[in-house]
A and B are shown apart, each in its own frame.
Chain A
Amino acid sequence: MLDNRPLKMCRRRFLASVAALPALTGGAFAHTMPHSLPWSPFAGDPPKPINPLGWYFLTPSEVITVEAIVDRLIPADHLSPGGKDAGCAVFIDRQLAGSFGKSSHLYNKGPFLPGLPTQGYQGELTPSGRYRIGLKALEDHVRAANAGKSFAELTGEQQDAILSGLEEGKITLKLAPGFSTRQFFELLLQNTMEGFFADPLYGGNKDMASWKMIGFPGARYDYRDYVEKYNQPYPHGPVSIMSGAPGWNVKG
């Protein structure tokens, strides 16, 4: 552009080439952002609520076991419905069917070597694989120790005893290298609590039951008028991402 053509010839070309600068360097290659703040109508990545019907990962017998487990981890009482009615098994199923279950965001390359506790989980199995093996090993263990009865067929007290055994390391299931019984229990507990306390759109925390139980207002975004009201409860109920709050809808 800085050639030696006479100025007279240059003028029109000059204005043209100034205008062309961004176009010459931009747009020609993938992922080059425009010289602006990009925006478009409807842009965003809103969540996709789960389909409440059916099962996407768990088999029918696994469903029965998981529902029994989540109902002991979070029993129904005057504070809230139990883990099953709150949707924790549905939550776990959908999570296992998705990217969490596949560990698709994690580092999955070998070699898979036994690690120290400070190094975290080093097994080769993804969460869905761990559930599949873990649930089978649990049922094998329960049936062997209880004359063929499955976990779900035991009394609540018996079920609690087994879960405590897993938690405290008193029961050792036959699992896989790099995947301990305690890790299986921790996975179950973590996912159950996630389901119970996450936004209802993921299948658990039905009717925001856990949030009501502890007084957490959920997906609210403005507490300016309340921060300095010391030692006082917050007056409004919870809001969820997709369903909002009951007051959003005119009845009838």
Chain B
Amino acid sequence: MAKLMPRRDVVIVGFGWTGAILAQELTEAGLDVLAIERGPWRDTATDFNIGYMPDELRYAIRRELFLQPSQEAITMRNDLTQTALPMRDYGSFLPGAGVGGAGVHWNGFSWRYLASDFILKTHLTQKYGAKKFDGLTIQDWGVTWDEIEHCFDKFEYVAGVSGKAGVIKGVVQPGGNPFEGSRSREYPNPPLKMPYSSSLFTKAATEYGLHPFPSPSANISRPYVNSLGVAMGECTYCGYCERFGCANYSKAAPQTTILPVLMKKDNFELRTESEVLTVNLHPDGKTAKSVTYVDTSGNEYEQPADLVIMAGYGLMNVRMMLLSRIGKPYDPNTNEGVVGRNYCYQTGGGGASMIFDDKRFNPFMGAGALSSSAHDFNSDMDHSKLDFVGGCSIGSGESNGRPIQGRPTPPGTPRWGSKWKDATAKTYGHVMSIGGSGSSYAQRGNYLDLDPTYTDNFGRPLLRITFDFPDNDIRMQNWVGEQCVKIAKTLNPKILTSGKARKGWNSVPYQTTHNTGGAIMGADPKTSAVNRYLQNWDVSNVFVMGACAFPQNSAMNPTGTVAALAYWAAEAITTRYIKNPGPLVQA
């Protein structure tokens, strides 16, 4: 029997970036907010100690700060004909856990999606006609760039994002990304220092006719006091960003930007190591009444609240909706239902890897988002002569030189023995690559639902991913890969290699933790799970954060857009919802 807890205005399920953002915004509006997080409390000096944080085995290989599959696993298959099996260890993507969530161990790329991304279906239809993307279930987001520009801005000034604006109030800025949507002002901090590889890429790309620029980074370039009064340090290029907590307060995370203010508020409370099992609805199914959670001792609690914010990782939010019967589950056979729909991933493409005799890079001097990028092949490029839609942002930089994972050798080198050793010693530090981060578009048959066989420790079904890369995305990646190779050739490397994108998504090697969709936003309740304010269409006091709201994925890292949508939803709640609770958009 669950212990009944005192009622709260708002309960937030999950406490990473979106949980912290919503908690901060809603407490500022005077609401009484409780956040429930299944992982432990973590903070910079106590948990990301500068002396032992640079431990590749512990944090990058054994992944101590991540969600462990023993707590929650996910099953996968490539198509409906296969039997899904659990990813017994996470590989292809790595969800976070604990206070700060993946905001603790992300790389720090802090992009805004393109203005055209938010109206993708309309945009592509106008440009090429709908036949161009036949077979893909591309949709508009229901929100436009102009509406959420100030939300991107808000996040960038909280996170101290370091970069160079490309377009300010319609005016193209030298040195920035000319393809970005028009922004209201410059980034709060200048770009990071430029490593050798980025400088070579910048030169080569410019000569190739592209428009390279420093990637916007939440590893910040100088000491900064953010818009909440929280101070951050300067990035030291230690090379321990992704998979690690930042030891010197220089990577934006909830801990380094929001929690010092939020944690002290009387109208905020955080419960850690407490796992929410389900969101409980009132009998009419139109509103949620409480959440049920369990602590590490197995004690069960019912926490009533007027408003429930799902702020877990996108995939986990979708699972929680399915477990709680919020929204109609998607059925790929009938193409009806909304929860689980339009699951997408992100593509990487082959890119180009170069080995030089005469150039020495120091890959260990890096930061998660330390790179230069070019968006000439991003998804708003001219596809009229191409056999695909979508695109890649491409770039080059140094994120780390950690040797368990990163020991390149020339093609054909054995993987062990004397020859391997010789090649490893000679090659390490002489490699640069041009890589891409590509769009991933939805198609029928790629979706999320509950697994019929496998369960977690509480007997709840695991989430099941059914996914493979659409042919469109394979063609896109390989085309962009060819462009990367052409650029790389101009640098005259001794050895140049490139990979080819293939069908058959493999859950084992790491690719990217940019899973999107499953609880997508939109204007039509028949094809979206949440409205343009991330409010569930059916259960109006449930708002769902995260990249699960993306109708399809764009060619950039999602965190900046996830955060902007969180501020957008928070604004709708504080300015409209609390005055008049109920659906903000009439179905």
Q: Which residues of A contact B (CB under 8 A)?
A: 21-22, 25-26, 29-33, 35-40, 43-47, 72-75, 77, 79-80, 99-100, 103-109, 111, 113, 115-122, 160, 163, 167, 189, 192-194, 197-199, 202, 210-211, 213-224, 226-228, 230-234, 241
Contact = CB atoms under 8 A, between A and B. Distances in A.
A72 B417 contact: yes
A117 B401 CA distance: 29
A107 B86 contact: yes
A35 B265 contact: yes
Interface in B391-430: 401-404, 407, 415-418, 421-422, 424-425, 428-429
Contact of B424 (A45, A111, A214): A214
Ranked nearest first, the 7 interchain pairs of A and B with the lowest CB-CB distance are: A107-B73, A223-B365, A198-B57, A107-B69, A214-B428, A219-B54, A43-B46
B47 A120 contact: no
Contact of B421 (A80, A115, A120): A80
Contact of A108 (B70, B270, B272): B70
Contacts of B237: 222-224, 227
29 contacts: A22-B266, A26-B269, A29-B5, A31-B274, A37-B43, A46-B51, A47-B52, A75-B418, A77-B418, A106-B68, A118-B78, A118-B504, A118-B506, A120-B507, A193-B407, A198-B56, A202-B57, A210-B403, A215-B429, A219-B54, A220-B238, A221-B236, A221-B248, A223-B238, A224-B234, A227-B195, A230-B196, A234-B364, A241-B54
Q: Which of B5, B403, B424 has the most CB of A within 10 A?
A: B403
B403 A214 contact: yes
A222 B250 CA distance: 12
Contact of A194 (B6, B57, B263): B57
Given A47-B58, A119-B87, A197-B404, A105 B428 contact: no
Q: Which of B62, B264, B274 has the most CB of A within 10 A?
A: B62
Contact of A33 (B45, B194, B269): B269
B404 A193 contact: yes
A121 to B, nearest CB: 6
Interface in B346-371: 359-360, 362, 364-365
Nearest to A77: B418
Given A30-B295, A198-B57, A222-B238, A189 B416 contact: yes
B544 to A, nearest CB: 24
A31 to B, nearest CB: 5
A226 B365 contact: yes
Nearest to A238: B364
Nearest to A39: B46
Contacts of B239: 223
Given A73-B417, A75-B421, A79-B422, A113 B85 contact: yes
A127 to B, nearest CB: 11
Given A35-B268, A116-B78, A223-B239, 15 more contacts: A32-B269, A35-B269, A37-B260, A43-B45, A46-B51, A107-B88, A107-B454, A108-B88, A118-B506, A198-B61, A214-B425, A216-B401, A219-B52, A222-B238, A231-B360
Contacts of A230: 196, 199
B337 to A, nearest CB: 26
Interface of B: 5-6, 41, 43, 45-47, 49-52, 54-58, 61-62, 68-70, 73, 76-78, 82-83, 85-89, 91, 193-196, 199, 234, 236-240, 247-248, 259-260, 263-266, 268-274, 295-297, 299, 301, 359-360, 362, 364-365, 401-404, 407, 415-418, 421-422, 424-425, 428-429, 453-455, 504-508
A108 to B, nearest CB: 7
Contacts of A119: 76-77, 85, 87, 507
A26 B505 CA distance: 46
A73 B416 contact: yes
Contacts of A231: 196, 359-360
A12 to B, nearest CB: 20
Contact of A197 (B403, B415, B507): B403
Contacts of B83: 113
A223 B402 CA distance: 15
Contacts of A193: 404, 407
Contacts of B269: 25-26, 32-33, 35
Q: Which of B47, B85, B402 has the most CB of A within 10 A?
A: B85
Contacts of B77: 119
B454 A109 contact: yes
Contacts of A39: 43, 45-46
A226 B193 CA distance: 10
A139 B264 CA distance: 62
Q: Which of B45, B421, B425, B504 has the most CB of A within 10 A?
A: B421
Contacts of A167: 415
Contacts of B57: 194, 198-199, 202
A22 B237 CA distance: 41
Contacts of A105: 62, 68-70, 89
B256 to A, nearest CB: 12
A74 to B, nearest CB: 7
A88 B78 CA distance: 37
Contact of A36 (B5, B264, B301): B264
A219 B400 CA distance: 12
Given A72-B417, A224-B193, A44 B247 contact: no
Contacts of A44: 46-47, 49, 52
Contacts of B234: 224
Nearest to A80: B421
A210 B424 CA distance: 10
A122 B86 CA distance: 8
A112 to B, nearest CB: 9
A159 B268 CA distance: 63
A170 to B, nearest CB: 15
Nearest to A34: B263
Given A75-B418, A189-B415, A120 B89 contact: yes
A167 B260 CA distance: 52
Nearest to B295: A30
A74 B403 contact: no
B421 A79 contact: yes
A106 B69 contact: yes
B61 A194 contact: yes
Given A216-B428, A221-B248, A29 B43 contact: no
A211 B362 CA distance: 13
A21 B301 CA distance: 21
Contacts of A33: 41, 263, 269-272
Contacts of B43: 37-39
A44 B44 CA distance: 10
Nearest to B361: A231
Nearest to B265: A35
A100 to B, nearest CB: 7
Contacts of A222: 236-238
B270 A32 contact: yes
A29 B407 CA distance: 48
